[in-house]
Chain A
Amino acid sequence: MAAPSITQAPRPLTAREVDALSQRQVKKHDVAIMLLHWFNATVWLLELATGTALLTSSFRVAPWWYIRIVQGFFQSRANMLQFHIAVGITWIVVFVVYGTFGFRTYLKKEVLQREISLDGDDFQWLRVRVLRLLKCSDESLPPQGIYNAGQKLFALMVYAMVPVIMITGLIMTFHLIGTAAVGWAAAIHFAAVGAVVSGLMIHVYMGAVFPEEKPAFFSMITGTVNEHYAYSHHFKWWKEVSGVRAEILHESGPEASAALPPDTPRKQETPGEGEKQQ
Chain B
Amino acid sequence: MNRRALDTLAGAPGRMADPKPALLARTPPANLLGDRLDLAGAGVFVAIMVVLPLVIDNSYLLGVLSVALIYALWAVSWDFMSGLTGRENFGHALFIGAGGYTAGFMNTVWFIDGWWSIPAGMVVAAVFAIVVGLPTLRLKGPYFALAMLSASVIMERLMLIFWEYTGGEEGINGVEPLFDSPLAFYYFALAVLLVVTVALVMLARSNWGLVLRAIRGDEATCQAAGLNVTWYKIASLLISGAIAGAGGAMYAHYQMQVSPQVFTVVLTITVITMVYVGGMGSVWGPIGGAILLVMMTELLRDFGEWRLMIYSLTLILILFFLPEGFIAPLWHRFKARLGANR
Q: Do A and B bind each other?
A: no
Q: Which residues of B contact A (CB under 8 A)?
A: none
Q: Which residues of A contact B (CB under 8 A)?
A: none
